Amino acid sequence: MSAVFELLKTDSVTAARRGRLRTRHGVVETPIFMPVGTQGTVKSVTPVQLREIGAQIILGNTYHLNLRPGSELVRELGGLHRFMGWDGPILTDSGGFQVFSLAKLRDIRSDGIAFSSHLDGAKLFLGPKEVMAIQANLGSDIAMVIDECPPWPCTREECRAAVDRSYRWAGQCKQIAVDNGFLAAGHLVFAIAQGSTFDDLRREAAESLAALDFPGYAVGGVSVGEPEPEMLKQVGATTPFMPAHKPRYTMGLGTPPQLLKMIALGVDMFDCVLPSRVARNGLVFTPDGPMNLRNERYRTDPKPIVEGLANYTANFSRAYLRHLTLAGEILGCTLLTLHNLHFYLDLMAQARAHLEAGDYGSWHRACVERYEAGAAARLAG
C-alpha cells in the first residue's frame, strides 16, 4: 500500500523535500503548515478566511470531538467537513497527545487508554478500535493511529514500553482500517514514531512502523518540554529511517525557525496551536522575530504588522491592533490570528518556492538568522 504522495524535488544541500499529497478532499502541496481546529474550529476565524490566507489542510482532535459534540452526531450531520463548513482535507489526531497533556486524568492499559473527561469526569476509553471508529465517523482524510506519548524526561524502560505499545496499537489500527474499508475508500492512516530522547529507539520505532507500510508517518513525542536542540536532535534521529516515498509529519510544533530547521531535516507537514494561541495575547510574528503589540512603542504606530504580507489584517495599523488587544475586543483575536496563520502559511509557500529554485539551504539559514537576531534585539530593547 502506498499513499498518493509524489516527491517532486529534494534539496541538494539539506534533506528538505518538495512534495504533493493527494487526499479525498484535495491536493496538499508540501512542505505545509496545518492550522489546528481542535474542536471543529480554528479559533476566531472562519473557513472562508482560512482559504483566503492559503490554508490547504486543517486539524481536528479525536479526543475532544468525541467528548463534544460526539462523533456519532457529527456522522449523522454529514461528517466533520460538512459539520464545520470546511471542504478541504482534514487530519485528525488520535488523542495520543492527551496521554501526555492529561496525564493526571488517564490510565494507560495494554489495550488502550482510559480517560476521565477533563470536562465532567465522565469515563472515556480510547484504543485502536475506538479511535478508528471515531475517525471514520468524522470522515477524516488522514487518521492518526493511537499511540503513547511519553513525557520528558523519561527512563529508557518507560520509553521502551511506550514504543512497544505504540507499535502494537499501530498495527491494530491499520488492520481495522483494512477490514472496514477505510483505506480502500481513499482515507489515509499515518503511524507515529515515538522514542523520546533515545536515538536507537527512535530508529527502531521508525523502521518497524515502515515495515507495516502505512500511507504516511509522523514524528511524535517532541516539544513536550525538552530544549530545542534536543527536540531537533530527536527529529533528525527519526526522519532518515522513514520511507522516502511517504509523507513525513512532525506533530505539535513549532516556531517559524523551528519549522524551517525541520524542513531541512526532511519533514513535510506540521501543525501547532502557537500562532493562534499567542495571537489572543497580542503576540504576532514577523520576519524579524515576534512582536508584542501590547508594548507602549506601538501605541501610535501607523504601519501594518508586516509590510507586503497581503491579508485583511494588513488594512489596520499596529496602533489599532494594539488598541483592540488591550480593550479585549474579539476582533483583535480574529485579526491577529489571521496574520499569524498567514505568516506561517506564507513561510511554507516561500519554502516550497525556494525548494523548486534549488536554493533552500542558503535561504532558510538566512531566514533563521534574521528572525533570531531580530528576536534578540526586541528582547534587549
Report pLDDT digits (tens) over 314-338: 999 999 999 999 999 999 999 999 9
DSSP assigned state of 297: G
Q: Is the pLDDT of residue 38 over 80?
A: yes
pLDDT at 95 over 90: no
- What's the confidence (pLDDT) of residue 264? 98
Per-residue pLDDT reduced to its tens digit, 148-200? 999 999 999 999 999 999 999 999 999 999 999 999 999 999 999 999 999 99
Question: What are the tens digits of pLDDT across the range 50-73?
Answer: 999 999 999 999 999 999 999 999
SS3 content of the chain, % helix, strand, coil (to 5): 45, 20, 35
Domains of the chain: 5-272 (3.20.20.105), 279-380 (no CATH)
**Which residues, including other chains, have CB under 8 Å from residue 267's CB and lie 6 or more apart?**
31, 219, 235, 239, 248, 249, 250
Parallel, antiparallel, or unpaired: how do β-strands 283-286 and 123-126 relate? unpaired
Note the pLDDT of residue 97.
77
What pTM, to 2 d.p., does this model score? 0.97
**β-pair partners for 59:** 36, 91
Has residue 105 got a pLDDT over 60? yes
pLDDT band at 101 (very low <50, low <70, confident <90, very high): confident
Is residue 118 predicted with pLDDT exceeding 90?
no
Percent of the chain with pLDDT over 70: 99
Residue with C-alpha cell 481542535?
Answer: 38
Please, where are the H alpha helices in the chain?
Answer: 47-52, 62-67, 71-76, 80-84, 97-101, 128-138, 156-179, 199-210, 228-238, 256-264, 274-279, 318-327, 330-357, 360-380
The pLDDT tens digits of the residues spanning 205-264 come to: 999 999 999 999 999 999 999 999 999 999 999 999 999 999 999 999 999 999 999 999
Other Cβ atoms less than 10 A from the Cβ of 186: the count is: 12
Look at residue 1 and tell me whether its pLDDT is greater than 50.
no
CA distance linking residue 343 with residue 310, whole number of Å: 10
pLDDT of residue 2: 46
The strands making up 123-126's β-sheet, listed across from edge to edge, are 106-109, 112-116, 123-126
Section 123-127 average pLDDT: 92
The radius of gyration of the chain from alpha carbons, rounded to an integer in Å, stands at 20
* pLDDT more than 90, % of the chain: 92
* Lookup: cell for 248: 513525513
Active site residues: 93, 271
Q: What is the pLDDT of residue 3?
A: 53
Predicted confidence at residue 350, as pLDDT, reads 98
Cell 516539544, residue located: 223
Mean pLDDT to the nearest integer, 355-365: 98
Give residue 99's pLDDT band: very low, low, confident or very high (50, 70, 90): low
